[in-house]
Amino acid sequence: MRINKTLFTIAFLCLCLYGLTQKPIKVKVIIDFNSSDNFQHKLKGCSVLIFENSKKIDSVFNKGHVFKFELKNRSLYKIVFQKKGFVSKHIIVNTSNYPEKKIKRFKLKADVGLFHFKGNENISFLDREPVSIAYYNEIKKEIMWDFEYNRSIVEKIIHAQIKR
């Protein structure tokens, strides 16, 4: 009788721990690099740094112009794109409120344009502010880009380049 009670307690604790652990998510990020100086020109040879909750988890040198990476945890991701002679940019992908129930696999696609750094532009805000933010929209039940935020950053970049 005592063994049955112990086994039942252990089984119950295992089920509780299983229920509390987060199930992995699957969000595939696909970034197509191009040069903002010439949109027809695909940008090859970019470095990509991936941070999860402010901790660097990966660093990739991308030989081609398309970068693919799968996000697997409910976290806040920062993905930095850099190339020598170009202005670095980064994006934020927030998967922290991704639902616990298994839902379809998501793809986040984006074009990221890097432009040559000329030295006389006041674009230091790009070190602090991402060029785009993605998040899980609970109403639409999908991960999506915040296009209003992106539009405001594009306007800031244009304004900084014109103001020189």
Structural domains in the chain?
A: 24-163 (2.60.40.10)
Which of the two residues, 106 and 38, has the higher pLDDT score? 106
pLDDT, one tens digit per residue, over 77-124 is 999 999 998 889 999 999 888 887 766 678 888 888 888 887 766 888
**Cα separations (Å) of 52 from 33, 71, 149?**
22, 9, 21
Phi, then psi, of 76 in degrees rounded to 5: -110, 115
pLDDT value at residue 17: 45
